[in-house]
């Protein structure tokens, strides 16, 4: 593990690290916030998955999670959104594909399948690595994210209900199979057969029987992507008749930015802490 930076913050430590990923066959960078409580005992961990174009750094710099994480004693891990490096395929002029747009899935189509194995990276490799290097209570894990990362958090929770005790999302893409800004990427990563897309689509997963106790979703009503990319009402519809709980909050005037995320960050961390206690 390379230590890229370590800064004291709110009595704990915000670090940035990198390691050689087997899943993604490249060096991957991630951020970890260690609250002061972790000196005494292992702390629960909450995974934050970022949105399109982001790296580990966006939420680390703009998410304003450290104060409350320090108060609640939560470790926050912020992975990158895709493999990186010169050897990794990309579409330079397309922000919805390639670097910064891994969609938390395992690509099956060339040339993407070589490195774009973000599902395995996020659900297996990185947790194993983090638990080896930090004092994490792996029996108490939560997951959340923003936009593409909200999609990642909800689908990963639905597919791993035994691992995660809590899940929430800011403005998640709930049905990427039919959303303007993800169809193109799903075709390239997963091929034309839409049946294989369903394992990475929150609405389809629920319809196919996947279950998770409850979700918190915050969504801004002034979000430019609400109608074409996000559409939380599709998830509300999908869970009808199931025992999945949903707290869906729509907020007047809030947009898709980190100004929105940071405004409700405390609520999300409390949501997780209550379920990880």
Shortest CB 265 distance to a second copy, Å? 9
Contact 65, 9 (CB under 8 A): no
20/61 with CB nearer a second copy: 61
Shortest CB 253 distance to a second copy, Å? 4
- String of contacts with a second copy for each residue 225-264, x by CB under 8 A: ----------------------------xxx-xxxx-xx-
- In the window 55-114, what residues touch a second copy (CB under 8 A)? 61-62, 64, 66-67
Of 71, 91, 266, 267, the residue at the interface with a second copy (CB under 8 A) is 266
| DSSP letters spanning 14-69 | EEEEEEEETTTTEEEEEEEEE-GGGGTS-EEEEEEE--TT--THHHHHHS--HHHH
Shortest CB 72 distance to a second copy, Å? 15
Picking from 237, 106, 90, 103, the residue whose alpha carbon sits closest to that of residue 181 is 103
Q: Which residues contact 153 (CB under 8 A, 6 or more apart)?
A: 47, 49, 143, 144, 145, 167, 168, 169, 172
Of 4, 11, 85, 161, the residue at the interface with a second copy (CB under 8 A) is 11
Contact 65, 77 (CB under 8 A): no
The verdict on 39 binding a second copy (CB under 8 A) reads no
Torsion sign, CA atoms 144, 216, 269, 136: negative
Shortest CB 266 distance to a second copy, Å? 8
- Return the range that interacts with a second copy (CB under 8 A); candidates 7-15, 42-50, 140-148, 203-211: 7-15
Phi, psi (degrees; rounded to nearest 5) at 79:
-80, 170
CA angle 205, 45, 221 (to 5 degrees): 55
- Look-up: residue for tokens 């004291």? 8
Of 95, 222, 228, 233, the residue at the interface with a second copy (CB under 8 A) is 222
Known catalytic residues are 147, 223, 256
Interface residues with a second copy (CB under 8 A) are 7-11, 14, 61-62, 64, 66-67, 220, 222, 253-255, 257-260, 262-263, 266
């Amino acid at each position: 593990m390379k230590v890229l930076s370590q800064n004291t913050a709110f009595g704990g430590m915000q670090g940035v690290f990198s390691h050689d990923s087997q899943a993604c066959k490249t060096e991957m960078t991630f951020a970890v916030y260690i609250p002061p409580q972790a000196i005494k005992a292992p702390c629960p961990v909450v995974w934050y998955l970022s949105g399109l174009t982001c790296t580990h750094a966006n939420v680390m710099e703009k998410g304003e999670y450290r104060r409350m994480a320090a108060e609640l004693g939560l470790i926050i891990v912020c992975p990158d959104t895709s493999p990186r490096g010169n050897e990794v395929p990309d579409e330079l002029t397309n922000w919805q594909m390639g670097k910064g747009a891994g969609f938390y899935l395992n690509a099956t189509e060339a040339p993407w399948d070589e490195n774009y194995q973000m599902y395995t990276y996020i659900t297996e490799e990185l947790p194993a690595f983090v638990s080896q290097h930090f004092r994490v209570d792996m029996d108490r894990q939560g997951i959340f994210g923003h936009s593409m990362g909200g999609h990642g958090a909800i689908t990963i929770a639905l597919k791993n209900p035994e691992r995660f005790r809590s899940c929430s999302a800011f403005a998640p893409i709930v049905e990427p199979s039919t959303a303007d800004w993800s169809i193109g990427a799903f075709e390239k990563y997963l091929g034309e057969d839409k049946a294989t897309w369903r394992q990475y689509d929150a609405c389809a997963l629920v319809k196919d029987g996947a279950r998770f106790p409850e979700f918190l979703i915050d969504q801004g009503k002034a979000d430019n992507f609400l109608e074409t990319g996000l559409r939380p009402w599709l998830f509300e519809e999908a869970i009808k008749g199931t025992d999945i709980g949903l707290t869906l909050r729509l907020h007047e005037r809030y947009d898709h930015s980190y100004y929105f995320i940071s405004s409700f960050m405390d609520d999300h961390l409390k949501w997780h802490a209550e379920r990880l206690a």
